[in-house]
Chains A and B, each alone.
Chain A
Amino acid sequence: MNDFNPNILAFCCNWCSYAGADLAGVNRLQMPPNVNVVRVMCSASVKPEYVFKAISQGIDGVLVLGCHIGDCHYLTGNHRTAKRIPLAAKILDKVGIDSRRVRLDWVSAAEGEKFQKVVTEFVEEMRSLGPNPMKEVRF
C-alpha cells in the first residue's frame, strides 16, 4: 500500500461547505486526517494566489469548497469561484504541476456525506499522485 500521507489545504465557505464539514463531524463520519480546513466567508474570496502559494510551498493539494450554484449566500459569489479556480488549475498545468492538485466542488450545509466523500476521494487521489514536486524546490 502507498503510505504517502499528503498534506492538504481546504478552503470552505462559512455558509455551506464549512457547515457541511461541521455536519460530517456531528454525524461522526470518519475520513482520512489529511485535510486542514480554512474558513472563508465565501468561496469567491479565495484568491488564485492562495492556491499558487500553497502549491509553491509544497502543500500537496488544495480543495476549494463552496455552496452549490444557485445557493450562494452572497447571491452569485460562487459563479466567480466556478471560473477562477479551474483557471488557477489550468495555470498550474502550464507550469508543470498536475492540475488535479486543485479541486473545486460544491458541498451544501446539509451534505455531510458529500464532504466525507470529497475529502476521502481527494486524499486518495493525492496519495496516488505522490508528493508535490515543489517540496524539493528551495527558494
Chain B
Amino acid sequence: MTRIGVFICHCGHNIASAIDIEKVVEYAKGLPGVAYAGHNLYSCSQEGLGSIKKSIEDNDLDRVVVAACTPRTHEPLFRRACEQAGINKYLFEFVNIREHCSWIHAKEPEAATEKAKKLVAMGVAKAALLEPQEEGESEVVPRTVVIGAGISGLAATASLLEQGIETHLVERGDRVGGLLKDISMVGPEGICSRDLIEALVDDIENSPKAHLHLNSRVKELKGFIGNFDVIITKGDEDLTVKAGAIIVATGAQELQPKGEYGFGEHPAVITQLELERRLGRSGLAAKKIVIVNCTGSRQPGREYCSRICCNASLKNAIRILEANPEAKITILHRDIMSCGTTAEALYREASEKGVRFVRYGLEQKPGISTHGKSIKLKVFDEALDESIDLDADLIVLATPLVSPDDSEETSKLLKVPRDKYGFFLEAHVKLRPVEFATDGVFVCGSARWPVSARESIWQGQAAAAKASIPISEGKVRIEAITAEVDSEKCAACGNCVLACPYEAIEIVDDEGRRAAKVSEAQCKGCGTCVAACHNDAIQQKGFSSRQLGAMIDALARASTEGTQ
C-alpha cells in the first residue's frame, strides 16, 4: 500500500475564499492510499515547502499530491521539495484547484468545494500508480541565436558575447537598431539613440564570437533546448546553425491608423514616428501642432495601452518648444500615463513650458475638417464640459505599437503562443517574464509588449542571462515523459512508427522477436504513439493508461458514491 501525502493550499484567499479547505482535507484523509492530509496557507512559500518536507519525514510518505495552482508554473518547485526530502520527483502529482476551480467558480463555494474533492480524488488515484523515473541528460550546444537586431536583440547579443557565448544575430532588414534608428533621442532623460545603438554595435563588432546576418530570416527551427537546428536564410542561401538557446527579439511596429483623423489623405497628418524622423533631420516648420494620444488604442478591438506614447508625446512637445518657443502645442489625451519620477518631471516641464493638455473621451472623439492647408479640430474638452475649436498646421497621431505583420508566421515557426493582439506570451508574467513555456526559447523587448528603449535593454540582458544558464551548465535534463514499449505485447504492426511526428520509433529485431523501439533521445513525450497502439503495448511515462484510467475511475466513483 502506498503512503500518499496530500497537501491542500489556501493560496491566501485565492483558493480558500471559494473552497472549504478543511472539508477537502477531511475528504482526502479517507481516500485509498492516503497516509496524511494537511493544508498550508501558501504551499509554495519557504514555510509551506518546509512543512511538506517535514511531513514527508514524519509520516514516512512515499508519494506527494499538492492541490494548489497550476503545474505549468509551480510543478518544478514542488518536485524539487520532494527530491530534497528523498522522494523521486516523478512521484509527485499536481492538482489544480485555483485556475481550474476557485477562480472560475468564485460565486459557488459549495459546488467549488465538491469539485475540488473530485479533482483531489483523481490526483490521488493517479499518484498511487506513479513510478519513479530517471531523467536522461543531453549536451548543450554552446551557441545562441538571437532573432531581431533592434535595441533589445542588440542588448541580448552584447550581453551573451560578454559572457563568451558565440551568438548569431539574425536581422531581416539591412541595418541594425530596429525602431530606435528612426528616433534621434529617447526620453525622459534625453539620451541620444545613436549612441545607445553604436555602443552595443561596437561590442558586437569587436567580438570574434559574433555573427551578424543582415537581410536574413529564420526559415526553420527544429530540436529542443540544448540542441536546436536553426536554418537562417539569406536570398537563395541557407545556413544551418546549431544552437543551445534561442532569443526572440522581433519587436513591434507602429500602427498606421488608416482613415483616422485624415491620416493618409492630408499630408499634414502624420504619426509620432514620422515626427521623430523629422525632428531628427531638420526640425519643424509647423507652428500650431496638435498631438492626438491614444489614436487607435484603448478602444474596442485594441484595448491595450501602448505605454510609451504619452512619454514620447511629452518629450517631443518639449523638443519642439526648445527649438521654437513660439510654437503652440496641444496634446489631446485620455489620461497622461507618465509613470516614474523622471517621466512625471517631464509632464510638469511640458505644462510649465506652455503645452496645453485637453482631455477627450472615447464617446466624443475629436473631429477634423480640412480646407486646403489649414486644419480645424473640434474637441469636446471633458474638463470644460464643452466643445472647443483648434487650428493646426500639423497633426501628430500617437499610435500604439502593434505586433509585426509576420508575428503569426513567427509564432508558428517557433511554436510559441501569442495573445489576442499578436504579441508573444511569456511563460508567466511574474515568475518567468522573459521565457516561453517552451524550454530554451526566450523573449524580450516589444515582441512581448510595448516597452521603452530602457526596458528593451533590461529585458534583452535578462533574456541573455536566462539563456546563458543551460549553456554554462553544459547539460540539460530531459523530462522523463518519453514513451516505452512492452515488447512482449508489441505485435510490430508499425502503427506507432507512422504516428510518431519525430521519427523516433522503429521496428527492430530483438533476439528473433520483432518489436517497436523508441529512441529516447528523439522522443519528445507527446504520446501520439500511445493512442495509435492497438495492443496497449506503448506507455508514456507519467501518463500511462493505468494512471489515466485510474483518474477516470476516481471521477466516476466520486459522482456515483458522492464526495462526503
Contact = CB atoms under 8 A, between A and B. Distances in A.
A19 B552 contact: no
Interface residues of B, number: 56
Contacts of B96: 22, 37, 39
A46 interface: yes
Interface stretch (B346-354, B445-453, B520-528): B520-528
B556 interface: yes
Contacts of B114: 33
B366 to A, nearest CB: 32
A36 B555 contact: yes
Contacts of A31: 104-105
Contacts of A53: 549, 552
B531 A80 contact: yes
Interface string A33-60: 1101111111011111110011001110
A45 B527 contact: yes
Contacts of B530: 45, 47
Contact of A37 (B98, B100, B438): B100
Contacts of A15: 437
A84 B98 CA distance: 31
A7 interface: yes
Given A15-B437, A41-B540, 8 more contacts: A22-B96, A25-B103, A30-B105, A33-B112, A36-B118, A50-B549, A57-B556, A109-B437
22 contacts: A7-B559, A16-B417, A19-B417, A21-B99, A22-B70, A22-B100, A25-B98, A26-B99, A36-B122, A38-B122, A38-B548, A38-B551, A41-B527, A47-B531, A57-B553, A58-B556, A58-B560, A59-B552, A74-B501, A80-B528, A109-B425, A110-B419
Interface of B: 70-72, 96, 98-101, 103-108, 111-112, 114-115, 118-119, 122, 412, 415, 417-420, 425, 437-438, 481, 499, 501-502, 524-528, 530-532, 536, 540, 543, 545, 548-549, 551-553, 555-556, 558-560
A51 B333 CA distance: 55
Contacts of A21: 99-100
B560 A135 contact: yes
A53 B111 CA distance: 25
Contacts of A77: 501, 526, 528
A110 B100 CA distance: 16
B545 A49 contact: yes
Contacts of B98: 25
A14 interface: yes
B548 A28 contact: no
A70 interface: yes
B552 A9 contact: yes
Nearest to A10: B100
B115 A76 contact: no
B99 A40 contact: no
Contact of B531 (A18, A22, A45): A45
Among all A-B residue pairs, the 7 with the closest Cβ atoms: A45-B527, A25-B99, A57-B556, A74-B526, A7-B559, A109-B417, A42-B526
Contacts of A46: 531
Given A9-B555, A57-B556, A44 B122 contact: no
B501 A54 contact: no
B417 A110 contact: yes
Interface of A: 7, 9, 14-16, 18-19, 21-22, 24-26, 28-31, 33-34, 36-42, 44-50, 53-54, 57-59, 70-71, 73-77, 80, 84, 108-110, 116, 135
B111 to A, nearest CB: 4
Contacts of B524: 74
Given A80-B528, A110-B420, A25 B100 contact: yes
A96 B446 CA distance: 54
A15 B545 CA distance: 20
Contact of A42 (B100, B101, B528): B528
A11 to B, nearest CB: 9
A71 B543 contact: no
A84 B531 contact: yes
A33 B117 CA distance: 12
A59 B557 CA distance: 9
Contacts of A25: 70, 98-100, 103-104
Given A21-B99, A110-B425, A74 B528 contact: yes
Contacts of A41: 481, 525-527, 540, 543
Given A22-B70, A45-B543, A80 B532 contact: yes
A65 B160 CA distance: 39
Given A25-B104, A58-B560, A59-B555, A110 B418 contact: yes
A42 B71 contact: no
Chain A CB count within 10 A is highest, among B114, B118, B549, for: B549
A58 to B, nearest CB: 6
A31 B115 CA distance: 13
Nearest to A46: B531
A70 B501 CA distance: 13
A114 B387 CA distance: 42
A110 B103 CA distance: 17
B72 to A, nearest CB: 6
A7 B112 CA distance: 13
Given A36-B119, A76-B501, A28 B545 contact: no
Contacts of A50: 545, 548-549, 552
A21 B96 CA distance: 11
Contacts of B72: 14, 18-19, 22
A40 B548 contact: yes
Contacts of A84: 531
Chain A CB count within 10 A is highest, among B98, B112, B438, B530, for: B530
A33 B107 CA distance: 11
A57 B557 CA distance: 8
Contact of B115 (A36, A54, A57, A75): A36
A89 to B, nearest CB: 15
Contact of B528 (A7, A39, A44, A70): A44
B559 A40 contact: no
A19 B437 contact: yes
Contacts of A37: 96, 100, 119
Given A110-B417, A110-B420, A57 B527 contact: no
